[in-house]
Chains A and B, each alone.
Chain A
Amino acid sequence: MHYYLAKLPLLLILLLAPTVWAKEHLQILAWDGYADADLVREFEKRYQVDVKVTLVYSDDELWSKVTEPNSDSYDLIAVNTAELQRYIAKGLVRSLDTNTIPNLNHQLPRFKHREAIPGLVKSGQTYAIPYTYSEMGIIYNRKLVHQPPESINALWDPTYAGKVLAFNTSNHNFTLAALGSGIKNPFIQSPEQLRQSARRLVELRRNLLTFYSSPQEAVKLFKTQEIALIFANYGNQQLKALIDVGADVGYTMPQDGTLAWLDCWAALNEAGPLAEQWINFMLEEKASLRLTNAQGLANTIQESTAHHNANLIWLEPIENADARASLWDQIISGDVMERF
């Protein structure tokens, strides 16, 4: 009898084993082109895990996916340094164990010195690892625009009325509007400044054909409609997509300031050590070069040739994302000027 009792725990372990040993899951929120299906499969095979990648098309979408009360529990997000700050502030992301990411050593020196990049390190803890970056310039149709636009305000130029594509997002659009109207700190706007920017954005809306969300959507619109200017939220990635389909386009950095983003991998609180393994995997040459070769995006292990070091304004945390998002909802739905 005692013999059998002694075996009971073993039996229980065997019975529970399938659940205990079931495959680990990794849920990732990322942007188009960051985690190609074949790379995901390779990772799954190497670590015997299941990876689910959900794509986002705007910072608003990323935020709402992470903060939705009954959302899936994600492990990793690809987020820019500015947006990252509100995730840290809300305690949504955890610090990373950099010792378990050996490929950090292969990064370029300026990405290795994480303390020098605003917002990555808080009280000695690293919260995110840079992965890719881009400036957000203006793509112009050489057939319709003969002089590369020098200001962001070209998007408001009635010459191109109905031939402009803007990006469907709240945060950058308000920053852009403020940049164009000469507000000193476009990232931190007073309520009055936000209202002014909203009105500017209504004007922008009235001047454009439509807002796009994905690089492919912009390509499709460029092919089917008469498009003069595109605000390139995805930077070089988008430029490459257009050139790949034979579009005769140029890319320019407005003199009054070109916004730039640095996207990083960050782990949400629920994430296990698999998150670090994923980041390490993404910093391998294969994944990083794919970013550049297939998407036209910069990576952090090779010096970029395509990226202009013009008057870049790296994204900074904004004053009130919710306020911008709710105003943006009104703008995109078509509310009239009098409403702002």
Chain B
Amino acid sequence: MGSRIVIKLAIWIAVLSILSAGISVYFTYTHGRALLIQSAKDKLATATQVLANRYSFFIADITKDLLFISQLPAINEIASSTEPQSAKHRERLATALAGFLRSHEEYNQVRFIGARDHGRELVRLDKSQNSVHIVEGLALQEKAHYSYIYNTLQLKPGNVFVSGIRLNKERGLLDGYGKPSVIVATPVYSPDNTVFGVIVINVDLEKMFSLIEIDVPEGIDVLATNSAGDYILHPDLEKTFGFDKGMRVLMQDDMPVSQRIFSGESSRLVAEVADLHSPEKQAVISLTKVPFATESDEKYIVLGLVSNLDTVLADSRELGVTSLKISITFGILFVLLSLILARKITTPLQRMASTFARFKQGDPVPELSTNREDELGQLARNFSIMAKKLNAQLHELNSQRQYLHKVAHHDALTGLPNRILLEDRIEQALISARRDKVEIAVMLVDLDGFKPINDKYGHDIGDKLLQECAARMLTCIRETDTAARYGGDEFMIIISARDLQLRGMSARHLSRQVAEKVRNALNQGFKIENYLLNISCSIGIALYPQDGDDKNTLIKHADIAMYYAKSTGRNNVKLYTDIQID
């Protein structure tokens, strides 16, 4: 029984600890995951802002470069010269610009274009395979029909035009044809305050973005779109510059959430989207609008970073696994502890239980661990007290029962068995006699002349006489025989001297001997309270099995024999058998 409590207790503690561990793992996982995703979003948003700032600084740097060039003395010389085509001036400018172009790997062309002659290039430096070429003569082209010329020529000094980002389709540029580029230009004014020409820098967008993205960690994709949503930067090159290839690919179609940027609803956003490389995976996108401070074909571009959540989710998975491991370890520990605890509780209980099981009525109260201070000690102490009380009560009950038994089966005056017990004794004797095939004798003793004594001396004397008679009768019989008070002055004796009978003595003979002994004992005078009293007795004997084989027959026949004895002169012994013979 003890082990069952151990198992139950262990199971419950285990279930509770696993449940609490599970709940804590679940919350650690989901909360940790949410925190990690939020932190990834925050980081990405910051990174995007950094990227956007860097893009703005980059454009600002180009602007500074342009303004710096526009202040070069060589520019001024050409702009104020009456002979702008003069080879000398142009050579000086070309030399100055060559160094400049060489030091900026992201620029692939620098030009000084005149407003006159349909936008004829005055000085043009092209980069091809990182070496700078000065373009001369007929190779110098007319560019007035390009937006970066006709727009820039309308600008005030110091202002800058930024072209839309597109694939360069101008023949003549060796390295740049078909490459994504952005063109930045500023006007040059002659001393008489008329617009003279334009300085144009052609920026290789791939190089520019590779400089901007320089510390974007691996696994993060950079996106850029123009203000209509056309991709100009995307890990899938097929998607970029769709507008230049006849098939527009818009970010709004790929990621509807980005519509908020293009509709003007917000200028930055962070959202969860499908990963660009494997759409079944999750990713986080951060977009920010980068407006152009200057005159431009486009009002703004949109820059974005996409980070797939693999690492973040792996982190959160790891967190989950770690907390799961810890929980399992502690769960096992709890189960072990619970086993020990259960054992600690149940061992004294078990000891008590087995003590209780052994405890019987009347046993001395067992010594339990009553010196313990806890509930178990209390239980043991209470049990001790209860056992003592129980013992006392049982003792009392036993005495009462013994008393009641005696009262019910014995004659109050003489202390001899009464008629009830007598009849029972006769039945018992008959049962053994039948079994052992031996004889028994039922002897009825009636006092002669008792009534006159009782009348003459009173009941007290009569009673005492009866007591004395009973005592004398007991001296005449063996312990195995029974003497009982049958009625007022009638006694009955049952003799079953089995041992003697086995040695060859008959019940007839034996009973006669005992009857004579009784008769003689009662014939002796009685001295009771200074009175000397003399009585005699008449005795009738019935034998089993000769005179009857049941109680009532035997008693009846003993009674008949006794009356016969009385009628033949009292103080006499008669056997029923003899009466019949007579």
Contacts and interface: CB of A to CB of B under 8 A. Distances in A.
Partners in one complex: yes
Interface of A: 29, 52-57, 61, 65, 162, 202, 205-206, 208-211, 225, 329-330, 332-336, 338-339
B145 A209 contact: yes
Given A61-B246, A333-B141, 15 more contacts: A162-B144, A205-B118, A206-B142, A206-B144, A209-B145, A332-B169, A333-B171, A333-B172, A334-B141, A334-B143, A334-B170, A335-B141, A335-B171, A336-B120, A336-B142
A329 B147 CA distance: 17
Given A206-B118, A209-B150, A210-B150, A333 B140 contact: no
Interface of B is mostly: loop
Nearest to B121: A334
17 contacts: A53-B247, A54-B245, A55-B247, A57-B246, A61-B246, A65-B246, A162-B150, A202-B142, A209-B145, A333-B170, A334-B121, A334-B142, A334-B145, A335-B142, A335-B172, A336-B138, A336-B141
Contact of A210 (B140, B147, B169, B246): B147
Contact of B145 (A53, A56, A211): A211
A210 B146 contact: yes
Given A206-B144, A333-B172, A334-B143, A54 B246 contact: yes
B215 to A, nearest CB: 35
Interface of A is mostly: mixed
B119 interface: yes
A339 B246 contact: no
Interface string B489-502: 00000000000000
A200 to B, nearest CB: 15
A55 B140 CA distance: 33
Interface residues of B, number: 22
A165 B121 CA distance: 22
Contacts of A334: 119, 121, 141-143, 145-146, 170, 172
A54 B248 CA distance: 8
Given A333-B171, A334-B119, A56 B142 contact: no
A208 B144 CA distance: 9
Contacts of B140: 336
Nearest to B147: A210
Interface in B520-576: none
A338 B352 CA distance: 122
Nearest to A208: B145
B246 A56 contact: yes
B230 to A, nearest CB: 13
A161 to B, nearest CB: 10
Nearest to B173: A333
Nearest to A207: B118
Contacts of A339: 138
A61 B245 CA distance: 9
B138 A205 contact: no
A329 B171 contact: yes
Nearest to A209: B150
B294 to A, nearest CB: 16
Contacts of B248: 55
B85 to A, nearest CB: 12
B167 to A, nearest CB: 13
Looking at B121, B147, B246, B248, which has the most chain A CB atoms within 10 Å of its CB? B246
A210 B247 CA distance: 23
A205 B145 contact: yes
Interface in B136-163: 138, 140-147, 150
Interface string B352-388: 0000000000000000000000000000000000000
Nearest to A202: B142
Contacts of A209: 145, 150
A56 B244 CA distance: 9
